[in-house]
């Protein structure tokens, strides 16, 4: 990965790439720091990982092929970084989106070094998952499936949204999840029309639509799964909403192929929803990339010109959200493959429970 990136850096006539975003550092080094660290990748000199003293032992044992430098207690990261840059005669660097305070401090410290923001090169590599990354996401997807199983087991009239979320999260952690991919969403009743409605103290009632949006983490990689349940008997309108969303998801799934424009995937789902009269209630894109971050390129939205490639891992999540009635979303984490998209999440698409 480092070699591929530095080849791209050389083509831009820069001396290296300075990474400060934790997931970028993890992607290229295998080390995840809980404190501010930087990874200095250089084309003509040894690369260096600079970490606080309390992270030095872990960084040294978890990385290879990198110089690991520590910031002593009471010291400043920019001082250590600028010293190494001077020793290695760095004149220009590409950077990821570093914290503003770090950027200002570094700019003042190394006024003779040109710093250029460049994120596209990173995403060109990160958005195409190799087999080991896909297997980690697959494991994270299995853990999310376990979470949904717990939701089906525990849901009942009178349970609060945050209580059901806790049961889901416990099931995922107990099964091996390293954490939550994002804050779990359990949104019920009229609140289910909020696409990102967080879990609250509201008690779930018979007849409610309940949107459950959850994700697990395995090996640092994330999954994303949404199912919508109706507690008890569903009205004809709610059943229709569910059927429309299911059909829309099937249509967009068929178009998750290498060479397809992202906007065309969105359009496939959107046409179904619009034809059913719910077009104004589909208020987001049909999907996004997933990996070390829960939202990554490519973005599958209206008019998206980016073209899908083999190895992209994306969500497929059409939804209908009717204020005052409720919402329905169905979402899977999917690998783009030449022979047809492969869903990694397999939780049953139940409705009435």
For position 41, which CATH number holds? 3.40.350.10
In our burial notation (b when 16+ CB lie closer than 10 A, e otherwise), range 30-59 reads ebbbeebbbbbbbbebebbbbbbeebbeeb
Residues 323 and 191 in one domain: yes
End residue of a domain, out of 79, 101, 126: 126
> For the chain, what is the domain count?
2
Instruction: Determine the Cα–Cα distance for residues 5 and 255; give it in Å rounded to an integer.
Output: 30
Question: Which helix (DSSP H) or strand (DSSP E) does residue 140 occupy?
Answer: helix 131-154
pLDDT at site 23 = 97
Q: Which two tokens stand for residue 291?
A: 């990996």
Sign of CA dihedral 115, 289, 144, 322: positive
Query: Are residue 96 and residue 12 in the same domain, yes or no?
Result: yes
Distance of alpha carbon 180 from alpha carbon 157, whole angstroms: 26
Judge whether 8 lies within some domain: yes
* Closest C-alpha to 48, from 102, 93, 111, 97: 93
Q: What is the pLDDT of residues 265-320, one digit of tens each?
A: 999 999 999 999 999 999 999 999 999 999 999 999 999 999 999 999 999 999 99
Write down which residue in 101, 126, 151 finishes a domain: 126
Domain boundary among 126, 141, 164: 126
Residues forming beta bridges with residue 288, ordered by sequence position: 299
What is the DSSP secondary structure assignment for residue 126, as one 8-state letter?
H
Q: How confident is the model at residue 260 (pLDDT cuts 50, 70, 90)?
A: very high
The CATH number given to whatever domain includes residue 262 is 3.90.230.10
Of 184, 182, 183, 177, the closest CA to residue 142 belongs to 177
DSSP state string for 214-237: E-BEETTEE--EEEEEESSPPPHH
Q: Do 302 and 245 fall within a single domain?
A: yes
Same domain, 189 and 224: yes
Distance CA 340, CA 334 (A): 10
Count the neighbouring beta carbons within 10 Å of the beta carbon of residue 236.
7
Answer yes or no: is 350 within a domain. Answer: no
57 lies in the same domain as 118: yes
Same domain, 116 and 143: no
SS3 287: strand
pLDDT band at 343 (very low <50, low <70, confident <90, very high): very high
Q: What is the 3-state secondary structure (H, E, C) of 48-116?
A: EEEEEHHHHHHHHHHCCCCEEEEECCCCCHHHHHHHHHHHCCCCEEEECCCCHHHHHHHHHHCCCCEEE
Query: Any residues with CB less than 8 A from the CB of 17 and at least 6 apart, and which?
Result: 5, 6, 9, 41, 93, 94, 95, 96, 118, 121
> What's the distance, CA 43 to chain centroid?
30
Integer Cα distance of 203 and 160 in angstroms: 4
Question: DSSP for 172-227?
Answer: HHHHT--SBSS--EEEEGGGGGSTTPPP-SPBP-TT-EEEEEE-BEETTEE--EEE
pLDDT in tens, 223-247: 999 999 999 999 999 999 999 999 9
Per the prediction, the chain carries an average pLDDT of 97
Say what percent of the chain tops pLDDT 90. 99
What pLDDT does residue 65 have? 93
pLDDT at 208: 98
Whether the CB-CB separation of 155 and 204 falls below 8 Å is answered with yes
Structural domain boundaries enclosing 140: 131-343
pLDDT (mean) for 207-219: 98
Report yes or no: 316 and 334 within 8 Å, Cβ to Cβ.
Answer: yes
User: Is residue 198 very low, low, confident or very high in pLDDT (cuts 50, 70, 90)?
Assistant: very high
- Between strands 67-71 and 48-52, the pairing is parallel
Contact, 9 vs 47, CB < 8 A? no
Q: Is 353 part of a structural domain of the chain?
A: no
Q: Convert the pLDDT of each residue in 57-73 to its tens digit.
A: 999 999 999 999 999 99
């Amino acid at each position: 990965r480092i070699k591929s990136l530095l080849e791209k850096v050389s083509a831009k006539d820069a001396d290296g790439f300075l990474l400060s975003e934790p997931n970028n550092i993890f992607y290229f080094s295998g080390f995840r720091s809980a404190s501010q660290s930087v990874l200095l990748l250089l084309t003509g000199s040894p690369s260096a990982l600079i970490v606080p003293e309390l992270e030095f032992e872990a960084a040294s044992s978890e990385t290879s092929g990198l110089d690991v430098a520590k910031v002593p207690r009471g010291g400043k990261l920019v001082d250590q970084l600028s010293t190494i840059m001077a020793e290695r005669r760095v004149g220009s660097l590409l950077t990821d989106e570093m914290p503003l305070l770090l950027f200002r401090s570094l700019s003042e410290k190394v006024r003779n070094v040109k710093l250029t923001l460049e994120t596209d090169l990173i995403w060109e590599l990160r958005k195409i998952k190799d087999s080991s990354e896909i297997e980690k996401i697959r494991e994270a997807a299995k853990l999310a499936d376990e979470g949904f199983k717990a939701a089906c087991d525990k849901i009942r009239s009178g349970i609060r949204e945050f209580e059901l979320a806790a049961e889901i999260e416990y099931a995922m952690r107990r099964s091996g999840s390293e954490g939550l991919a994002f804050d779990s969403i359990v949104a019920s009743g009229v609140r289910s029309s909020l696409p990102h409605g967080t879990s609250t103290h509201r008690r779930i009632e018979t007849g409610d639509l309940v949107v459950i949006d959850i994700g697990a983490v395995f090996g640092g990689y994330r999954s994303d799964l949404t199912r919508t349940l109706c507690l008890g008997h569903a009205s004809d309108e709610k059943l229709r909403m569910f059927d429309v969303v299911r059909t829309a998801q099937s249509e967009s799934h068929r178009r998750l192929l290498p060479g397809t424009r992202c906007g065309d995937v969105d359009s496939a789902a959107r046409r179904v929803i619009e034809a059913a009269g719910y077009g104004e209630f589909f208020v987001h894109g049909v999907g996004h990339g997933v990996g070390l971050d829960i939202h990554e390129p490519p973005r599958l939205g209206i008019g998206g010109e980016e073209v899908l490639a083999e190895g992209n891992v994306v969500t497929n999540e059409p939804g209908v959200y009717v204020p005052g009635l409720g919402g329905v979303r169905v979402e899977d984490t999917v690998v783009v493959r030449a022979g047809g998209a492969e869903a990694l999440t397999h939780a049953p698409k139940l409705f009435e429970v």
